[in-house]
Amino acid sequence: MPKKPAQPRASNSQSARPRPAKPRAHARPAAPALEVNASNGMPLGMPPSRFLTRYWQKHPLLIRGALAGWQVPITPEDLAGLACEETVLARIVHRERKRALWTLQPGPYSEATFTGLPERDWTLLVQDVDKWDAEVACLLDFVRFLPTWRIDDVMVSYATDGGGVGPHIDQYDVFLVQGIGRRRWSINTERNAPRALRPGTDLKLLAEFAPTHSFALEPGDVLYLPPDVPHDGVAEGACMTFSIGMRAPAESELLLDLAEHLAEHMPDTQRYSDPDLRPARARGLIDSAVLARVRAQLGPFAQRIKAGELALWFGRMITRYRSAALIAGNGQPASLEQVRAMLLSGRALLRHPFARFAWIEHGAEGASLFAAGHMVHCPRALAEALCANARIEPDDAVLRDGSALTALRDLLAVGCVQFARAPRKRA
């Protein structure tokens, strides 16, 4: 039986008062089991409803024997042949284990491509194999408890010993089905695990990866990973893995598609209007009253947009809207010394006749200047000068600031401003 709590002792002078208990911190609920065994009639190791409640988009799950006895419907040779088709999306990833580097070789391929590959440390990945092979498509029955529109494809990979694509994260749910051979998967389940990407690579690989768990998957095992879980799979001998990936459009894609859908049904007569317009304080200025009108006309779309983001978007949009010509520079920014030398030689600065300019304030002296859809940061004086004048003389005070020269260099590169011809020397 549990013991009764001890009674507080009374002192000689007065009864002792019990101290209030310190509030206990709420502990996070323990994560569910990371590994289960499948059983007859329960390939997930549990009813689908329990899987969706406890694991779906929440926690990884390794299901041992989920597809025990499954006969792989495609051979490595079949996969290589499919990767040679022009319309098939395929890629080969080479691993250089000494330097922990992975390189991408996109398809399509020829037979010679495969005869020239090394014996180990490479992986062939082919997307949408379920669209090309009806027997592979039958694998989707494993996830038939999910809406069909949520399922993307079955990607099939063949890896030689040591092959893999490197540590990475996916932005969608995936069921990794081991078909042939053995693959070791390492994952990190910590919420604050590093997710920064390596620079200078075609593959979106993690700069740091410290696994918290490691599993060797045998044929018929399935590893479910929710989005944003760092993971890495390495073949232990030749193997084939079938990845059932989900479709998960980004919020930006949803908003863009919805905006296009709504725009198709909106009459051209509904336009930006400003019947309350007041005289402009400065040429080209996009002030708070303008942004308030834009926010009101966008309606619910604008509710998710911060004031600064709305201003930057509108400045870019309104300066490229209905442009009568495409403005293009040489794309090669001049050095600041070259810009300064051009001004010292007496070359005036000209605004491109087809470039529209506007600006927004940043404090008392700064501005974001928009030109034909481009944006640069510059002193307020330069923004006002370029919006008010088609020509600025080389000795103008607004061109003496170092940040003004930087902005001019960037505007010259995209063609929104240009230097006038050199003045003729007098005989």
- The domain total for the chain is 2
Q: What is the pLDDT of residue 18?
A: 52
Residue 364 — pLDDT band, cuts 50, 70, 90?
confident
Q: What is the pLDDT of residue 332?
A: 66
> Looking at the structure, do residues 234 and 340 belong to the same domain, yes or no?
no
Q: Is residue 380 part of a domain?
A: yes
Domain of 210 in residue numbering reads as: 35-246
> Looking at the structure, do residues 348 and 409 belong to the same domain, yes or no?
yes
Q: Can you list the positions of beta strands (E) in 248-393?
A: 349-351, 357-362, 366-371, 374-379, 391-392
CATH of the domain at 141: 2.60.120.650
Q: Is residue 8 part of a domain?
A: no
CATH of the domain at 341: 3.40.366.30
Whether the per-residue pLDDT at 1 is higher than 50: the answer is: no
Using one digit for the tens of pLDDT, what is the confidence trace for 242-267?
999 999 998 888 888 888 888 888 88
- Nearest alpha-carbon partner for 285 in 415, 181, 384: 384
> Looking at the structure, do residues 255 and 119 belong to the same domain, yes or no?
no
Residue 4 — pLDDT band, cuts 50, 70, 90?
very low
Q: Is residue 15 part of a domain?
A: no
CA distance 248 to 400: 51
Task: Output the average pLDDT for the chain.
Answer: 90
Using one digit for the tens of pLDDT, what is the confidence trace for 78-108?
999 999 999 999 999 999 988 889 999 999 9
Whether the per-residue pLDDT at 322 is higher than 90: the answer is: no
Residue 302, classed as helix, strand or coil, is helix
Q: What is the pLDDT of residue 8?
A: 39
Residue 307 — pLDDT band, cuts 50, 70, 90?
confident
Terminal CA-CA length for the chain: 115
Contacts of 235 (CB under 8 A, 6+ apart): 123, 159, 160, 161, 162, 163, 164, 181, 182, 183
Q: What is the pLDDT of residue 262?
A: 81
Residue 337 to residues 332, 386, 405, Cα–Cα distance (Å): 14, 21, 9
Average pLDDT estimate for 191-218: 95
Q: What is the pLDDT of residue 264?
A: 85
Q: What is the pLDDT of residue 254?
A: 86
Angle in degrees, CA 122, 128, 130, rounded to 5: 115
